[in-house]
Amino acid sequence: MLRTTWPILVVLFGTVLLRAESAAPPKFETDVRAILKTHCFQCHGEEPEVQGNLDLRLVRFMHRGGDSGTAVVPGKPEESILYQRLRDGEMPPDESKQISRDELQVIRGWILAGAKTLRPEPESLGAEAHITEEERTHWSLQPIQRPTIPDVINRNLVANPVDAFLLKELRKHDLEFSPTAPPQKLFRRLSLDLIGLPPKRDSLNRFVQTLASDGSDEKAWSDTVDTMLELPQYGERWARHWLDVAGYADSEGYTDADSERPDAWRYRDYVINAFNMDMPFDQFITEQLAGDEMITSPLDNLSAIDAKRLAATGFLRMAPDGTGGAVADKLQARHDTMADTIRIVASSFLGLTVGCAQCHDHRYDPISQADYYRLRAIFQPAFDPEQWRVPSKRRVSLYTDQDRERAAEIEVDAKKVDAQRAAEQKQFIAATFEKQLKELPESVHELARAAHATEAGKRTPEQKQLLKKHPNLNVTSSSLYLYDRKAADELKKLAAKASEIRATKPKEEFIRAITEKPGRVPATHLLFRGDPGQPRQELKPGGLSVVSLTSKLPEIPVDNGELPTSGRRLAFAKRLTDPQHPLTARVIVNRVWRQHFGRGLVETPGDFGIQGMRPSHPELLDWLSAELIESGWSLKHLHRLILKSRAWRQAVSTDATRQRVDPDNTLFGSARLRRLDAEVVRDCILDISGRLNTRASGPPVPVMADRVGRFVIGKENLNAGRPGSVIDLKGAQYRRSVYIQMRRSRPLAVLEAFDQPPMSPNCDKRNSSTASTQSLLMMNSELLLTYSRHFAERLSQLDQDPSARIDAAWQTVYCRYPTESERTATLKFIDEQQSVFEQQAAYRASDGKPPARSAELEALAVMCQMLMGSNEFLYVD
Amino acid sequence: MNESTAECNSGSRRHFLASGAMNVSGVALAWLLAQNRSLAEVKKPDLQQRVHDTTPKVPPGEPKARAMISLWMQGGPSHHDLFDPKPEMAKHDGKEFPGEIKYDNAAQSSSKVFHSPWKFQPHGQSGIELSELIPHTASIADDICLIRSMHTGVNNHGQSIRALQSGRTVEGRPSLGSWLTYGLGSESDSLPAFMSLIDPGQLPVLGVENWSNGWLPSIYQGTVVRPTEPRILDLTPPAHLKGNAQRRALEYLEQLNANHLAAYPGSLDLQARIASYQLAARMQTSATEALDLSQESKKTQEMYGLHEKATADYGSRCLIARRLIERGVRFVQVYTANQLWDSHGSIITRLPAACQKVDRPSAALVKDLKQRGLLDTTVVHWGGEMGRLPVVQNDAGKAKIGRDHNTYGFSMWLAGGGFKAGHVHGKTDEWGHKAVEDVVNHYDYHATLLHLFGLDHEKLVFNRSNRDQTLTDGQPGQVVDGILA
């Protein structure tokens, strides 16, 4: 045995340096139980049938033992059955679920040290998973308390308390903030962060001048942040972050058909609007979960405000939903949609993974299977798997009574034309028939008239025989045109007239929403092993038990008698937005922080549970959460606190000491070099080239496959399965990426290449990849060529002087002027390219006609393309 | 149930510590380290900025293999009907299964024994018994090492795929191809080291996670090759830029990037992107050439079944895989469509159809590599994440019956690269349900594979947050001597 005291340096959870001078033996509560819970509890305790009669959930049960005798012999791991079975790989029987050597050593160490517990255990366990002291005291479940702001000696470094909290930790490691970034970089960073677009040249210059002349940096900075927060593009940028969390998609997913969701965009617009108006976040949560329970106007005559509340519930309709099409197992498809919805709700608001509790108690977190079905019961009346409504049946019409009345009036007019047409048609057919009849002998006229007047199926054999012999007597509405073109045209005109009249009806539009059937409150059962075919005990709606244990929160009623709906989701929203709820505020604060800094205070934004990472700055997280709640849940307040801190304004540091002490920059003593998000890459390219169409809201711009099968913007126009002529989108192709259709099976090529996530079902955290396919796209794609040329045209119109053009390009793309050597090198590069192109026929005049594009302009375009492919553009520092 | 927190995409997760990877608490870890230094060597933080690249590396051991092609049969091919005959079961066909069965789909389960309706025969000198559904594979019986005792023990697709593709059942870990390219680099400087040839149908279960670099640097991520032309988008420069113009433009770009990098020396992301432009430029010619199947003779094309509808797609991709390996690519994976082999129902018609797609091309690949002298140094792997159960699923008439998941005992084969040829390894029980003899777990398979590449699965480490991570991640993987040549 080696020495038991060992000064060691362990890096845990990526970053936090932890010095463990003396290593105490493992404890049951903190070390051993988690291992057994993961690998053993399901068969040895949780399920009704306890294998080998050995329950491992309490140490007292282990001592008592099972069929094979006592499971642990204190101090003697080799004699303990628990250790033997694990060591020999006999348990768990499922080999892939066996524990690692490290885990085995922990169990061994615990038994060796006497197999003790920290405190007496309960006498027995209830029907549900026992929540231990350690679980109850897990950091994220403790009430949010506003901490005192640390005293920091050098107050000049502190713009607001955010800095004080960060500096306190930095100083523990003898570190300070990095210097403030230069104004140009700061302005570019702010613009990309808040509105996802590059700054305009004139506002950049104004900002740089203000900082230089005014001197009062704080005020200039503060004003700049405030101004930018009020731009409508802010909502377009920040809604996108929330749409990831909500799993926004314009298609149903689940099956290959991946049919379109024509009305999902109303939810997208709702989110953008909510961010722009700084809707209190508690209201935002409530409307998304229960907008339909808040409305006061009737569903068939919605007020404008209620229509918005209903659109908010689109949140609960974002999970893949295959029930509208052909699926192998209809019941399963319904349950899958519900399960995905619950997964989205839990990860977005609670920051917890609950999905695995669908089949068994959660492996890591104190969430029992019963808890899962209580959570599900909140949504049962809305989804109602027994009386399921497919997507087309869940649409809520935006028709008002007035619209309906108007439509009915118009229908009356249209019907009149229909009637006229029917009458004329009848006459035409009769006349034509008689005309045909005249050519036949008189003797058959009577029989023929009778046959003609009789329905095809009811004709006598004799009648049939006659018509077969004289097919020209078969004058019908569909064959009339063959006999009498003029009459047919006349009828066509009338039909068109009726259509025209109908087209004047108010257009019926729909909301993608969730609603309940009034009066129907279906029961929720626990499903054994998650199988819809094996329902067990009925469960009432409820929040997570462990949260109820630590915080006093409102309960969820089975049926709120005062509402036409069950009121369950409304009560759930009330619970979530209660200031006492330990998770809600922390989870959203962490998401906002993460987007601003590129790293969360908790680096697992969707998992605040046992398996998630611990917060690097728990006090700061709590202080910001308290600020959020007390500001009336204002996200813009949170943005201001963060953006106006000194911390956010730091430069990216390359200091060696800092990198050694804090290589992952968890202490936030430096800014982070970050690649632009997919949408920002595209939007910036559009903006730089001068093409960006800033039109907001409305149905999504369609995506289609081009002739090589790449997904591009365009309206599908297939002709026998092949692309037909291109339909002009009239500038819609230049709209911001948030307005481009998000069809799960058709990711827009440029966005997919830069890691726009597939929604399956949602995304807590995007990745940032570097692949040569991205480079090929920047080098050779039609997209880059086109926009580089647009950009070059724009530059050439600005100025005739090549140097001035380069300066403008640098300012637009990089937000700075080129250095002298960059300018010289670029002039030389453009010259060379120009002479190469001048050699090519395409750039020379032919037949007296000038070339479509001059060599000079093309050379400039190549420079533009290289700037947009460069790291200085693709990264923000 | 497959739980993951909102999986988003593949890509760099260099700064991300997958929470599931470590189930040992911090205090316990400290204790562990104090108890036994060799378990997890305590190291000082790595002060030097490492440069990661894909230049070829010499493995510490004696390598037999230098490249690998994995024919990935997603969904779980039925070993009962292809590789593992149980003639005794015929007597029990349709009768009650006497033992215990772990089902995935309880709703459609039955306990009726399902004896394979297809005939088996011994083939080649080795006499390996194979089913009539795979006549072409039968013709390479003497070249393959058939493992009949595979085991991952996690009865659903996602987790078992993770076990085989990334070593553990948890999300977020690097895939096998990423580990190999991290350990060995690439012998080609003009093609990506790791390529994934996806099917024209839907992506396999877990999608892009299958070729994710996890927390390894992003240059070890698999590059996707599209299933139809153009197999790689934007591979051709626009007409006016072809040749010198683009070369000069990329030099100019590199200068811009170098100026920028000077401000942030040691940034792995910036370096990786600079390298990716260099690779992209070279790929324009080399990938175009490598993917051009018209350079192959008609005889070769027909050998892979390019002339027939059923085999044209998979055959083309197998042929591309061979061309890539020839050009120095380290790891190629050729995928079948999403759940192609997941025979829950209608196995009578669906299984023969799946076999028809891949049987000829798979066998052709082995023969072709052999005739070119490449088989000795190239591992060919054929298999999916599971096998099937010995009982009927969906007992609703012969046309509809199928078999449920089975990860307790299933088959896959390997050829070349130092695997024993014409050999059968391991056994399942009399029902073909559980592997009982010479069981090969996913971690044993991985340990063996790395061994053949001259790597030790416990020593090929990536230091992440001061902890050495491996493919087998502390699982008791053993090199399986019995399958080595």
Q: Do B260 and A771 touch (CB under 8 A)?
A: no
Q: Identify which of A599, A767, A779 has the shortest CB distance to residue B10.
A: A767
What count of CB pairs under 8 Å joins A to B? 337
Quick one: closest CA in A to B33, which residue? A8
Q: CA quadruple B54, B58, B59, B60: dihedral positive or negative?
A: negative
Q: B268-290 and B244-263 helices cross at what angle (nearest 10)?
A: 160
CA angle A52, A546, A608 (to 5 degrees): 100
B38 at A interface, C-beta within 8 A: no
Q: A3–B221: do the CB atoms touch at under 8 Å?
A: no
Q: Are the beta carbons of A4 and B253 separated by less than 8 Å?
A: no
CA distances from A754 to A342, A775, A834, B309 (A): 29, 10, 31, 35
Partner-chain contact B26 A842, CB within 8 Å: no
Q: For residue A269, what are the CA distances in angstroms to A197, A263, A851, B251?
A: 19, 11, 45, 44
CA dist A745 → A158, A252, A717, A758, B266 (Å): 48, 10, 18, 9, 38
Which residues on B lie below 8 Å from A834 (Cβ)? none
Pick from A668, A684, A813, A779: nearest CA to A736: A684
Lowest mean pLDDT among A118-122, B70-74, B308-312: A118-122
Q: Which of B265, B280, B474 is nearest residue A772 as measured by Cβ atoms?
A: B280
Q: Using CB atoms, pick whichever of A96, A660, A710 lies closest to residue B441.
A: A96
Task: Indicate which of A15, A360, A776, A853 best probes the interface with B, i.e. most B CBs within 10 Å of its own CB.
Answer: A776
Give the residues across from A722 on adjacent strands: A719
* Closest residue to B11, CB basis, from A20, A355, A768: A768
**pLDDT for the residue numbered A743:** 93
For chain A, 877 residues long, the average pLDDT of each consecutive 10-residue run is: 32 32 74 85 81 87 87 90 86 73 87 87 72 89 94 79 95 93 94 96 88 72 95 98 97 88 97 98 98 94 96 97 88 93 96 87 87 96 96 95 94 95 92 87 86 87 85 84 88 94 94 94 90 89 91 92 94 97 98 96 91 93 98 98 96 89 91 95 97 96 85 86 82 97 91 85 82 91 96 94 96 96 96 95 88 94 98 96
Region of B334 please: left (phi>0), alpha (psi -120 to 50) or beta.
beta
Report yes or no: B45 at the A interface, CB cutoff 8 Å: yes
Asked if B99 reaches chain A (Cβ–Cβ under 8 Å), the answer is: no
Q: In terms of Cα–Cα distance, which of A256, A813, A356 is closest to A611?
A: A356
* Residue in B5, B33, B237 nearest the CB of A10: B33
Query: What pLDDT score does B14 carry?
Result: 23
From the list A18, A244, A710, which residue is nearest B233 (CB)? A710
- Angle A217-229/A635-643 helices, nearest 10 degrees? 150
The alpha-carbon gap from B473 to the nearest alpha carbon of chain A, in Å, equals 8
Phi-psi category of residue A706: left, alpha or beta, with phi > 0 → left and psi -120 to 50 → alpha: beta
Contact A710/B32, CB-based, under 8 Å? no
What pLDDT does B30 receive?
A: 52
* A10 with B466: Cβ contact below 8 A: yes
How is residue A724 written in tokens?
A: 């037909």
Q: Which residue has the tokens 């099409």?
A: A325
Q: Enumerate the H helices of A264-368 as residue ranges.
A: 265-276, 281-294, 304-312, 330-345
What CATH class does B45-231+299-483 carry?
Answer: alpha beta
pLDDT the model gives residue A129 = 64
pLDDT of amino acid B464:
67
In chain B, which among 216-235 make CB contacts under 8 A with chain A? 218-219, 221, 223-224, 226, 228-230, 232-235
In angstroms, rounded to a whole number, what is the distance separating the alpha carbons of residues A490 and A694?
A: 47
Of chain A, the end-to-end C-alpha distance in Å amounts to 50
Indicate yes or no: CB of A24 within 8 angstroms of CB of B272.
Answer: no
pLDDT value for B466: 58
Q: What is the DSSP string of A471-528?
A: GGG---TTTHHHH-HHHHHHHHHHHHHHHHHHHTSPPP-EEE-----TT----EEEEG
Q: What is the pTM of this model?
A: 0.79
In this prediction, the answer to ipTM > 0.90 reads: no
Q: Which of B33, B34, B237 sits opposite A780 (nearest CB)?
A: B237
Nearest to B442, CA basis, from B417, B407, B469? B407
The reply to whether residue B218 touches residue A769, judged by beta carbons under 8 angstroms, is yes
**CA-wise closest residue to B24 among A13, A635, A50:** A13
Our CA-based measurement puts residue A34 at a distance from the nearest CA of chain B, in whole angstroms, of 8
What is the residue-wise DSSP string for A574-614? HHHTSTT-SSHHHHHHHHHHHHHHSS-SSS-TT--STTSPP
Token pair 């497919």 is at which residue?
A: A390
DSSP A666: T
What tens digit of pLDDT does each residue of B261-300 get? Answer: 999 987 878 888 898 899 999 999 899 999 999 999 999 9
In angstroms, the Cα distances linking A607 to A202, A351, A647 are 43, 5, 25
CA-to-CA separations, A323 to A249, A376, A617, A685, B119, in angstroms, rounded: 16, 19, 44, 39, 40
B419 SS3 class: strand
Residue numbers in B near A829 (CB within 8 A): 248-249, 252
Which residue of chain A is at minimal alpha-carbon distance from B408? A94
> Are A102 and B24 inside 8 Å of each other by CB?
yes
Q: Would you tell me the crossing angle of helices A265-276 and A232-246 to the nearest 10 degrees?
A: 130
Residue A568 contacts residue A541 (beta carbons within 8 Å)? yes
User: Per-domain residue ranges for chain B?
Assistant: 45-231+299-483, 233-290
Cβ–Cβ contact B27 with A under 8 A: yes
Structure confidence at residue A18 (pLDDT) = 33
Determine the Cα–Cα distance for residues A287 and A293; give it in Å rounded to an integer. Answer: 9
Structure tokens that stand for A873 in this block: 């553009």
Which tokens sit at A646?
């000194």
Q: Give, as one character, the DSSP assignment of residue B17.
A: -
Q: Could you check whether the bond before residue A147 is cis, i.e. omega within 30 degrees of 0?
A: no
Give the integer Cα–Cα distance in Å for A205 and B155. 62
Could you give the CA distance from residue B283 to residue B192 in angstroms, rounded to a whole number?
A: 8
Q: Do B8 and A836 touch (CB under 8 A)?
A: no
Put simply, whether B202 touches A (Cβ < 8 Å) is: yes
Task: Report which DSSP code applies to B222.
Answer: P
Minimal CA separation from B19 to chain A, in Å = 6
With cut-offs at 50, 70 and 90, classify the pLDDT of residue B248. Answer: very high
Residues whose CB is less than 8 angstroms from the CB of residue A76 and which lie 6 or more positions away in sequence, other chains included: A111, A112
Q: How far is B369 from chain A (nearest CA, A)?
A: 28
Handedness of CA A219, A222, A225, A230 (dihedral sign): negative
CB-based contact A3 B34, cutoff 8 Å: yes
Give residue A96's pLDDT: 58
- The answer to whether the CB atoms of B273 and A874 lie below 8 A apart is yes
Q: Look at residue B333 and give its three-state secondary structure.
A: strand
Question: Using CA atoms, how far apart are residues A181 and A194, in angstroms rounded to an integer?
Answer: 17
Spatial CA neighbour of B28 closest among A869, A418, A497, A31? A31
Percentage of chain B surpassing pLDDT 90? 67
Q: What is the mean pLDDT of chain B?
A: 87
Cβ-Cβ contacts under 8 Å, A604 against chain B: 5, 19
Pairing of strands A524-527, A535-539: antiparallel
Residues near A823 by beta carbon (within 8 Å), at least 6 away in sequence: A803, A806, A807
Residues of A in contact with B160 (CB under 8 A): 96
> Where do we find the tokens 């569909």?
A478
Best probe of the B interface among A769, A810, A830, by most B CBs < 10 A, is: A769
For A31-40, B89-98, B377-386, which range has the lowest pLDDT when averaged over its residues?
Answer: A31-40
